[in-house]
Amino acid sequence: MKEKIKIRYYSPTAFQAWKGEVWQVCQQMFNISEQAFYDRLSTFKYFAVFTVAGQVVGFQSFFLDEVPLQGKRVVLVGSGHGGILPEHRQRRIFPTATVLFIFRRMLRHPFRRYFLWGLAMTHLSYRMGVRSTEFHYPPQQGDWPPFFKAILDWIGHRYYAETYDDASFTAKVRFAATGDDVIPSEVEKQDPVVANFIRRVPTSLEPGNTFGALSVSPVRANLWVWFKKFGLGVR
């Protein structure tokens, strides 16, 4: 039986005590320098640290913004830079940690409108995001509400101003994921979700890809799906 993975959340100040151990994990999965990793920490509002028997095995960072959009006040929760060591994957830790983080925010402010967004750098994270939600924009095909486009434009201009493409809803960062599994296999390319990611980010087929696809999901519309998938089996 696999050991239990613990999820703990930290403010930027409290996370400082963990950043050295988290960096040791991060450098195994991304081609980013230690200083660049530390410099990026100020971008995020909260962090999750994943541990097994007291040892750090992964991490996740979160953006958090409350902004007016098209006359509506909305809360935008972003799933930012993160990773988990290969031997601990396939355990739904990322979506579970994200859903728990959102639930905690909603318990404090239940009447606000929440939206979850992320920039997927690999087909793995893109597929996880799509398959973890029932409502996800841009959709695989068809039209979608302009309001969600406005959300992605706000995010793109706020966090990726120099590289954001408002036609494809993609952006570029200064590091890339590493590992044998970050490029889709021939079998994975047959998956329509993966195929859509490749269409949006053609460079995902190349080593060292630094482009990602932005997506957003309405939280309340996905609550029941998330509860069934993650809430009933929280570790």
Whether 46 is covered by a domain: the verdict is yes
pLDDT higher than 90, residue 189:
yes
Whether 1 is covered by a domain: the verdict is no
Q: Looking at residue 195, which CATH number applies to its domain?
A: 3.40.630.30
The total number of structural domains in the chain stands at 1
pLDDT number for residue 3 = 83
Q: What is the pLDDT of residues 10-69, one digit of tens each?
A: 999 999 999 999 999 999 999 999 999 999 999 999 999 999 999 999 999 999 999 998
Whether 162 is covered by a domain: the verdict is yes
Please give the model's pTM, rounded to 2 decimal places.
0.91
- Identify whether 138 is preceded by a cis peptide bond (ω within 30 of 0): yes
Q: What is the pLDDT of residues 130-161, one digit of tens each?
A: 988 889 999 988 899 999 999 999 999 999 99
- 47, β-bridge pairs: 10, 61
Q: What are phi and psi of 215, to 5 degrees?
A: -145, 155
Identify the domain containing residue 150 by its residue range: 6-233
Phi-psi region for residue 45, left (φ > 0), alpha (ψ -120 to 50) or beta? alpha
Give the residue with greater pLDDT, 51 vs 94. Answer: 51
Q: What is the pLDDT of residues 119-131, one digit of tens each?
A: 999 999 999 889 8
* Residue 204 near residue 163, CB atoms below 8 Å: no
Whether 219 is covered by a domain: the verdict is yes
The mean predicted confidence, pLDDT, of the chain is 92
pLDDT higher than 90, residue 234:
no
pLDDT number for residue 89 = 81
Whether 70 is covered by a domain: the verdict is yes
pLDDT higher than 70, residue 235:
no
pLDDT number for residue 224 = 83
SS3 letters for 199-227?
Answer: HHCHHHHCCCCCEEEEEEEEHHHHHHHHH
pLDDT number for residue 1 = 60
Whether 187 is covered by a domain: the verdict is yes
Q: What percentage of the chain has pLDDT greater than the value 90?
A: 77
For Cα atoms 162, 168, 174, give the angle at the middle one, nearest 5 degrees.
35
Count Cβ neighbours within 10 Å for each residue of 59-98 and write b for 16 or more, e otherwise: bbbbbebeeeeeeeebbbbbbbbbbbeeeebeebbbbbbb
Whether 62 is covered by a domain: the verdict is yes
Parallel, antiparallel, or unpaired for β 113-120 and 170-172? unpaired
Tokens 């990322």 identify what position? 94
pLDDT number for residue 82 = 93
